[in-house]
Amino acid sequence: MAKTILTVDDSASVRQMVKFTLSEAGYRVIEAVDGKDAVVKLASPVQLVITDLNMPALDGIGLIRWVRANPACKGVPILMLTTESQEARKQEGRAAGATGWIVKPFTPQQLLAVVRKVLG
Amino acid sequence: MDAFQAGFFEEARELLAELELALLELDEKRDDPELVGRAFRALHTIKGSGAMFGLDELAGFTHHLETAFDRVRNGQLAVTSGLTNLALAASDQIKALLEQAAGRGVADQARGAEILARVGELTRAEQPTPPQPDSVPPPPERAGRGEIRLWRIRFRPAAEVLVNGVNPLLLLDELRQLGDLQVTADLSAIPPLRAIVPEHCYLAWDMTLATPAGRDAIRDVFIFVEDNSELAIETAVAPKPEAGRAPVAPPASENTPVRGAQPAASIRVAAAKLDQLVNLVGELVTVQARLSEAAARSNDPGILDIAELVERLTGELRENSMSIRMLPLRATFERFRRLVHDLGVDLGKDVELTVEGADTELDKTVIDQLNDPLVHLIRNSMDHGIETPEVRRAAGKRPTARIHLSALHSGANVLIRVSDDGRGLDAEAVRARAVEQGLIDSGARLSEQEIFSLILAPGFSTAREVTDVSGRGVGMDVVRRSVEALHGSIELNSRPSQGLTVTLRLPLTLAIIDGLLVRVGATSFVVPLANSLECVELTREDIQAAHGNHLANVRGELIPYIRLSEYFEMDTARPDREQIMVVETEHGLYGFAVDQVLGDHQTVIKNLGRLCRNVQVVSGATILGDGTVALILDPHRLVHNVIQTASERSGSLPGADGRRNREQHFHSKGQQDQCYAKQMEKLRP
C-alpha cells in the first residue's frame, strides 16, 4: 500500500509540482488548499503532511498545532515549506511540532530527499 | 518543470488580480490588517512559486515589494496612497515580467529599476539584495571520494521526538547509507514500566560509522532533530568492540491503509475541452430526442422505458455540463476596480465602485464577451455622467461619486446593471443631438425611453469634446452590438442630475435552451420555454367574437396575438382549432397563434450561419428527432418587429423621410424572414 501524503498549499502550482514529484516516486498524494481544508482532508489517515506556512483561513503554524493536538494524527511527520529568510517563522513551526522543513525554492530531487528522510 | 510553469502563469495572474484588488481596497481602508495580509500573501506566493519554477527575475523583483509589505504587516511602514500607487505600478511590472517569462513581450527594465529604487526609499533599505535561501539539506551522498574515516556518534533524541513525527530508526537507516554502521542501543534511560509514557522515546544510540563523508554530511542527517537532541559526532581511532549490542528493531509497521480515494477540490481544464464537452452533450441531446421519438412510435414498452431513462440522464448530463461552464461574475466585476481607480485619477474625479451580486453565475462565453461592453459603460459613466468633485459639491451632491455594478437572476436571464449618480441623461439634449445628426425627424413623437435608446445608435455622441476616455461616438453602439450578439437587450433609465442606469439583460447560456416545439403547417418552430407562459385554444368562435382583431380572450384578459403563418407568409390552410402560446416579451404579453403545440424540447442551438445573419426574429435553428430542422424564434424581436411595423403604418413614428427609411429597413428585414421560412419549408424531408 502506497504511503499517503497530504500537501497543503494555497498555490496550485506548488501543489501540482509536489503531487507530480511524489506520485512519480510512488506515493499517493492528496491536496488541500489551506489549513482548514487540510483539517477536513485529515479525516482519513495520512503518513505525512507537507504544508506551506503562509495561507489564508488556517495557516501552516495553526495547522501544525491542530495536527499535534489531534490524537488521530499522533506522530504523523509534518514538513513545512518556507521561503521565510527569517528564522523566526521556522522556529515557531518547530515549536508547534513540525518534524522538518523544506526551503523554497526547491527542486523535485530535494523534495524527494526530504520526504524519504522522514518517511523512509 | 515547464509543464508546471503554465499552471504557475495562470495562477500568478490570478494572484496579481487578487493583489491589485487588495491594494485598491487598502487605498480606501488603510488600517485593515486583513488587506495587508492578503497583499502580502499574494506577493509571497508569487515570489516563492516564481523562484521554484525558475523565474528568478520575477522572484527577485517581487521580493522587494514583499519586504515592503512585510514591514507594513509588522507596523514599521504606514500605508499611504504613495505606497499603494507604487505597489500598483509594481504589480504591473510583475505582470510584465510574467508575460515576458511566458514568452509574450519584454518587460521594461528601466521601469523596474525605477520602481525598485522607490520601493527601496520607502523601506529605507540601502540596496535590497535578493533573498539568500537557507541551505536545503542535500540528498545524502553515498560513498564519495576521499578517505574512509571512522566516526563515533552518540545520539539521544529528545523524549518527544516521536510525537513530532520523527522516526529515529529512519535516521539510523540514513546513516547506514553513508557507510558501514555499527549501532549499540543505550537502554539505560528506560524507566520502570509504570512510569513509562508510551509516546516518549527513552533510547539513545552509540554508533560507529566508517564513511568517506565529512562531519557536515553526518550532521545533515540529524538536521531536523539536532536542536533538541543530544548529538555528539567525533572522529574515532578504532572501532568500538561489539560487546553488549542490542539488536535494532525493524522500523515500526506502517499505519493502516487509507480507504477510498479523496478527489481534489478542483481542477483546471482548458476551455476548449469544455466547449467540446458541451458540443458533444449537444449532439447527445439531439440523438436522445430521436430515440425518444422512435421509441414513442414503436410503442414497445421495453424501448420506451430505456428511452425515458436516457432522456432523464441526458437532461442531467446537460445541466451538469452547462453548470461546469458557469462562472461567477466576481472576477469580471473586480477587474473594474482598477479601471475606476485609474480613470478617476486621470479625470480628476473621485469615484467609488460598489458591487452587488458578484456571485451571480453566467456562462463563460457570455462572461468573456461581457467585458468590453461593461468597460464602455463604465468609461462612459466616468467621463460623461460623473461630474468633477467641485461641480458635485456645487450641486449639493456628495463629492465622491458612485458607480454601482450589480447582477441578479431574472428567470432564464441575468440582469446586469451599471448605474452612476452623475448628471444623468438630458432627454432634450439627446433629442436635439439626434435631430442634428439626422437620426430622427424633428417632429417625431418619442417616449423618454425611446429617446434614451437613441444614444445606442451608431455614431451618436453627446460629448461636446472628444476626450481621451470616451466621446468618439463609438461607445454605445459597440455596447449594443455586443449585447445583441449575446441575445441580450439594453434598457436605459435616467433622471436628470440623478444619474443613469443601464440594464443589460443577458441569457444565462448560449448553447442549449429548453424550448416548446410548435407546428405551423408542416414547419416546426421552437419558442424558448423561458418566455412561454401558457397555451390556450383559439376556436373559430373566438375569432368571430373578436371581429377580426387579433385579440384572444384569456380568462377575461385580452391578449394580442400574432399568427405565425401570416407573419411568415406561409401557404397553409388554417385549421379549425388553433393554439395560442402566450409569451412574455419586453412589450408585455403576446400570443403566437400556431396550428399545434407539440411539447417541450431540449434545444441545441445551431447558428444559422453568415448567410442569415440579418434574420432577426430567428435566433437559431435546431435539429429535431426525425432529422428535420426547426427554427428557434426570438419572441422579443418578433413582437418588436410587428409593433414597429404597425406603429409605422399608423404614423406615430418619424415623418416623411425617416419613415420611409425605416419602413424600407423593416420591410427588407421582414422579407428576409419570410424568404427564410419558405426555404426552410423546402428543407423538409
Of B53, B139, B199, the CB nearest to A13: B53
How many of the other CB atoms lie within 10 Å of CB of B181?
A: 20
- Inter-chain touch A103–B38, beta carbons under 8 Å: no
Question: Is B33 in CB contact (< 8 Å) with chain A?
Answer: no
For residues B424 and B385, the answer to whether their CB atoms sit within 8 Å is yes
CA distance B106 to B99: 8
- Inter-chain touch B133–A55, beta carbons under 8 Å: no
pLDDT at B460 over 60: yes
Looking at residue B442, its pLDDT comes to 78
Task: State the average pLDDT over residues B306-331.
Answer: 86
Looking at residue B337, its pLDDT comes to 87
Looking at residue B1, its pLDDT comes to 54
Between B24-33, B275-284, B506-515, the lowest mean confidence (pLDDT) is in B506-515
For residues B84 and B20, the answer to whether their CB atoms sit within 8 Å is no
> Which region, left, alpha or beta, applies to residue B152 given φ > 0 means left and ψ of -120 to 50 means alpha?
beta
- Inter-chain touch B255–A45, beta carbons under 8 Å: yes
Percent of chain B with pLDDT over 90: 3
Looking at residue A78, its pLDDT comes to 92
- Inter-chain touch B163–A74, beta carbons under 8 Å: yes
Helix (H, G, I), strand (E, B), or coil: what is residue B423?
coil
Scanning every residue of chain A, which has its alpha carbon at the shortest distance from the alpha carbon of B200? A75
pLDDT at B304 over 80: yes
Of B134, B138, B163, the CB nearest to A75: B163
pLDDT at B507 over 90: no
Helix (H, G, I), strand (E, B), or coil: what is residue B428?
helix
Give A99→chain B minimum CA distance, Å. Answer: 5
* Position B389 confidence tier, pLDDT thresholds 50, 70, 90: confident
Mean pLDDT (chain B, rounded): 77
Residue with the bigger pLDDT between B345 and B48: it is: B345
Can you list the domains of chain A with their CATH numbers? 4-119 (3.40.50.2300)
> Which region, left, alpha or beta, applies to residue B477 given φ > 0 means left and ψ of -120 to 50 means alpha?
alpha
Give B-chain residues touching A96 at CB under 8 angstroms: none
CA distance B405 to B415: 11
For residues B102 and A76, the answer to whether their CB atoms sit within 8 Å is no
pTM for the full predicted model: 0.43
Task: State the average pLDDT over residues B397-410.
Answer: 86
Scanning every residue of chain A, which has its alpha carbon at the shortest distance from the alpha carbon of B257? A1
Cβ neighbours of residue A101 under 8 Å, at least 6 residues apart?
A: A79, A80, A81, A82, A90, A93, A94, B224
Between B123-137, B199-213, B222-236, the lowest mean confidence (pLDDT) is in B123-137
* Position B660 confidence tier, pLDDT thresholds 50, 70, 90: very low
For residues A91 and A4, the answer to whether their CB atoms sit within 8 Å is no
pLDDT at A56 over 70: yes
Mean pLDDT (chain A, rounded): 86
Looking at residue A30, its pLDDT comes to 92
Single out the residue of B251, B248, B255, B250 nearest to residue B206, CA to CA.
B248
pLDDT at B512 over 70: no
pLDDT at B432 over 70: yes
CA distance B29 to A50: 35
Residue with the bigger pLDDT between B419 and B78: it is: B419
Question: Is A83 in CB contact (< 8 Å) with chain B?
Answer: yes
Q: Cell 399608423 belongs to which residue? A: B650
Give A-chain residues touching B59 at CB under 8 angstroms: 105
Single out the residue of A118, A30, A9, A16 nearest to residue B7, CA to CA.
A16
Looking at residue B659, its pLDDT comes to 37
Strands B596-604 and B512-520: antiparallel
Of B4, B133, B259, the CB nearest to A16: B4
CA distance A18 to B475: 48
Give A26→chain B minimum CA distance, Å. Answer: 15
- Inter-chain touch A100–B262, beta carbons under 8 Å: no
pLDDT at B303 over 60: yes
Q: For residue A105, is the peptide bond before it cis, meaning its omega torsion is within 30 degrees of 0? A: yes
pLDDT at B101 over 70: yes
The tens digit of pLDDT for each residue in B229-284 reads: 888 888 876 444 444 444 444 444 444 444 444 455 677 778 778 878 877 887 88
C-alpha cell read off for B207: 554508533
How many of the other CB atoms lie within 10 Å of CB of B510?
A: 20
C-alpha cell read off for B92: 504591473
For residues B377 and B418, the answer to whether their CB atoms sit within 8 Å is yes
Q: Cell 545520539 belongs to which residue? A: B155
- Inter-chain touch B4–A20, beta carbons under 8 Å: yes
Looking at residue B461, its pLDDT comes to 61
> Which region, left, alpha or beta, applies to residue A83 given φ > 0 means left and ψ of -120 to 50 means alpha?
alpha
Q: Cell 522587494 belongs to which residue? A: B64
Give A112→chain B minimum CA distance, Å. Answer: 9
pLDDT at B577 over 60: yes
Query: Which of B2, B4, B46 to mutate: most A Cβ within 10 Å?
Result: B4
Single out the residue of B592, B579, B596, B413 nearest to residue B517, CA to CA.
B596
C-alpha cell read off for B594: 400556431
- Inter-chain touch B8–A13, beta carbons under 8 Å: yes
Single out the residue of B416, B496, B491 nearest to residue B449, CA to CA.
B491
Task: Kindly tell me the burial class for residue B367, based on how many C-beta atoms sit within 10 Å of its own C-beta (0-12, 13-18, 19 or more).
Answer: buried
pLDDT at B354 over 50: yes
Length of chain B, in residues:
685
pLDDT at B378 over 80: yes
Write out the E strands in chain A: 4-8, 28-32, 48-52, 78-82, 100-103
* Position B38 confidence tier, pLDDT thresholds 50, 70, 90: confident
Question: Is B301 in CB contact (< 8 Å) with chain A?
Answer: no
> Which region, left, alpha or beta, applies to residue B92 given φ > 0 means left and ψ of -120 to 50 means alpha?
alpha
CA distance B443 to B435: 9
Looking at residue B475, its pLDDT comes to 64
Strands B413-420 and B499-507: antiparallel
Of A75, A100, A117, the CB nearest to B162: A75
- Inter-chain touch B262–A44, beta carbons under 8 Å: yes
Looking at residue A5, its pLDDT comes to 93
Question: Is B74 in CB contact (< 8 Å) with chain A?
Answer: no
Between B194-208, B328-342, B585-599, B643-657, the lowest mean confidence (pLDDT) is in B643-657
For residues B243 and B214, the answer to whether their CB atoms sit within 8 Å is no
Of A14, A99, A120, the CB nearest to B164: A99
Single out the residue of B128, B129, B119, B104 nearest to residue B69, CA to CA.
B119
Q: For residue B168, is the peptide bond before it cis, meaning its omega torsion is within 30 degrees of 0? A: no
How many of the other CB atoms lie within 10 Å of CB of B118?
A: 17
- Inter-chain touch A110–B260, beta carbons under 8 Å: no
Q: Where do the H-state alpha helices sit in B102-163? A: 109-123
pLDDT at B583 over 90: no
Residue with the bigger pLDDT between B601 and B512: it is: B601
C-alpha cell read off for B452: 434614451
The tens digit of pLDDT for each residue in A63-112 reads: 999 998 888 888 899 999 887 566 788 888 888 888 988 887 788 888 88
CA distance B133 to A98: 19
For residues B181 and B209, the answer to whether their CB atoms sit within 8 Å is yes
Q: Cell 427554427 belongs to which residue? A: B631
Residues B609-643 as b or e (16 or more Cβ within 10 Å = b)? eeebeebbbbbbbbbbbeeeebbbbbbbbbbbbbb
For residues A111 and A102, the answer to whether their CB atoms sit within 8 Å is yes
- Inter-chain touch B136–A110, beta carbons under 8 Å: yes
Kindly compute the dihedral angle of the four CA atoms of residues B294, B300, B305, B306, in this order, to the nearest 10 degrees.
Answer: -50
DSSP annotation of B606: B
C-alpha cell read off for A85: 529568510
Task: State the average pLDDT over residues B361-375.
Answer: 83
Looking at residue A29, its pLDDT comes to 92
C-alpha cell read off for B478: 459597440
B113 CB-side CA count, 13 A? 3
CA-based Rg of chain B, rounded to a whole angstrom? 37
Q: Which of residues 168-227 of B touch A (CB under 8 A)?
A: 170, 173-174, 199, 221, 223-224, 227
Of A10, A28, A44, the CB nearest to B45: A10
Of B38, B174, B199, the CB nearest to A117: B174
Task: Kindly tell me the burial class for residue B3, based on how many C-beta atoms sit within 10 Å of its own C-beta (0-12, 13-18, 19 or more).
Answer: exposed
Q: Which of residues 52-81 of A touch B (CB under 8 A)?
A: 54-56, 68, 74-78, 81
Strands B204-211 and B351-356: unpaired
Looking at residue B616, its pLDDT comes to 77
ipTM: 0.84
Task: State the average pLDDT over residues B608-617.
Answer: 76
CA distance A87 to B102: 33
Looking at residue A48, its pLDDT comes to 92
CA distance A80 to A93: 8
CA distance B347 to B390: 13
CA distance B603 to B515: 6
Task: State the average pLDDT over residues B515-542.
Answer: 85
pLDDT at B15 over 60: yes
Task: State the average pLDDT over residues B430-447.
Answer: 79
